[in-house]
Copies of this chain bind each other. A is one copy, B any other.
Amino acid sequence: MSETYFTDYEDLEIHELMLKDRPRQKAYFDAITNNKHLFKDKIVIDVGAGTGILSALCAQAGARLVYAVEASNTAKIALDVIEENGLTSIVKVIHSRIEDFVLPASSEKADIIVSEWMGFYLLHESMLNSVLFARDNFLKEDGIMFPSECSIFVAPCSVPSLFDYWQLVDGVKMERFGEKLRLQKSKKPEIMQLNQHDLLHEGVILHWMSLLDINAEELNEIRFKEVLATQTAGDHQGFCIWFEVRFPDDSVLSTSPLAPETHWKQCVILLPQNACEKLEEKSPVAFQISMKRSANDDRKYDLEVELLDPNTEEHPVPCPCHMTKCILTEAHLKMMDTS
């Protein structure tokens, strides 16, 4: 576990960025404030409390006791925030890693675990492990996770700002610069905001998990294989990955290109030049993707996408793609359906 991970969060500008991320703030504010019945008189643990804002919201929503557990020195700021809001009798700021936290012997387990643990493409930073540790050790049998579910999505996409833009910049051809730029960026996933029109498909769920059930080992490696059919024509230049988290009241914080921009943006994996292709609507795109915890730094993941051959891969049945076998299958199914 790297020491720098926690010292990074002592930089106030990271918290400034998160606290000014309006969709993030609004999602948590609404999920907590619109569900006061869940918080009334309850015990809450806020894992990785940061500046303590979620703990304060839980207290304001009626919680009886909130443990705001924060490993970095930001805990001092959380204490400021809790004092400033007159909540010290409810919120206990604990300057500790959650793994070193011990519930007072007199205390019951928590009714609710609240956390904003999501990193780029959901899993970057791997703070989720700490949340699951808290769940396994400090949550009651019938306790609630806030958020409670999350999904990672993937869709084939165009990336005009890294491809088309360089064809002609104010009348000057810059294709080779564009190529070199993409080469530089292809060494790591690119965090960038796509436009909804850049998606060639609305996206499929690459991975879904319930925070009540998942265990940490399942997160060591995620593999996903899919054949999908594009829903709009366009240049296939990469894969766009995003996530959403869902709260117990079914409200959602989404980082999709269709949702208002958040500081997470999206994660784009660029295709190499020779794999880029102009696709018609209903073109089959076959691929597999793996997200594997990095051997060097267990807070990071290695992302790999492999394009597969749609001619040899098995398609779903029915498949909306324009390949003859899928059109015939669909016709056959329809016939059977009406016979």
Which positions 69-108 of chain A face chain B at CB distance < 8 Å?
A: 77, 80-81, 84-85
Nearest Cβ distance between residue A175 and chain B, in whole angstroms?
Answer: 6
Decide if A176 touches B80 in the complex (CB within 8 Å). Answer: yes
Decide if A172 touches B16 in the complex (CB within 8 Å). Answer: no
Kindly identify which residue among B53, B57, B60, B176 contacts A174, using a CB–CB cutoff of 8 Å.
Answer: B53
**A184 sits at the interface (CB 8 A):** yes
> Do A173 and B85 contact each other (CB < 8 Å), given the known contacts A20-B161, A20-B165, A180-B77?
yes
Which partner residue on chain B sits nearest A29 by CB separation? B170
Decide if A53 touches B181 in the complex (CB within 8 Å). Answer: no
Decide if B25 touches A177 in the complex (CB within 8 Å). Answer: no
Which partner residue on chain B sits nearest A15 by CB separation? B177
Within 8 Å CB of A184, what residues of B?
12-13
Nearest Cβ distance between residue A188 and chain B, in whole angstroms?
Answer: 12
In the complex, A171→B77 CA distance in Å?
A: 17
Which positions 8-62 of chain A face chain B at CB distance < 8 Å?
A: 12-13, 15-16, 19-20, 25-26, 29, 33, 51, 53, 56-57, 60
Q: Which residue, of A173, A174, A181, has the highest number of chain B Cβ atoms within 10 A?
A: A174
**A169 sits at the interface (CB 8 A):** yes
- Report the interface size class on chain A: 35 or more
Decide if A180 touches B12 in the complex (CB within 8 Å). Answer: yes
Nearest Cβ distance between residue A16 and chain B, in whole angstroms?
Answer: 6
In the complex, A51→B33 CA distance in Å?
A: 52
Decide if B173 touches A81 in the complex (CB within 8 Å). Answer: yes
Decide if A84 touches B173 in the complex (CB within 8 Å). Answer: yes
Q: Is the interface of A mostly helix, strand, loop or mixed?
A: helix
CB 8 Å contact bits of A182-195 with B (1 = contact, 0 = none): 00110000000000
Nearest Cβ distance between residue A78 and chain B, in whole angstroms?
Answer: 9
Within 8 Å CB of A53, what residues of B?
169-170, 172, 174
In the complex, A16→B173 CA distance in Å?
A: 14
Within 8 Å CB of A16, what residues of B?
181
Within 8 Å CB of A176, what residues of B?
77, 80-81, 84
Decide if A81 touches B171 in the complex (CB within 8 Å). Answer: no
Nearest Cβ distance between residue A303 and chain B, in whole angstroms?
Answer: 19
Kindly identify which residue among B57, B80, B171 contacts A170, using a CB–CB cutoff of 8 Å.
Answer: B57
Within 8 Å CB of A174, what residues of B?
19, 51, 53, 81, 84
Which partner residue on chain B sits nearest A87 by CB separation? B172
In the A-B complex, list the 4 residue pairs whose CB atoms are closest, starting with the nearest: A80-B176, A29-B170, A56-B172, A84-B173
Query: Given A81-B172, A81-B177, 7 more contacts at CB 8 Å?
Result: A13-B185, A25-B170, A26-B170, A53-B172, A60-B171, A77-B176, A84-B174
User: Could you tell me which A residues sit within 8 Å of B by CB distance?
Assistant: 12-13, 15-16, 19-20, 25-26, 29, 33, 51, 53, 56-57, 60, 77, 80-81, 84-85, 161, 165, 169-177, 180-181, 184-185
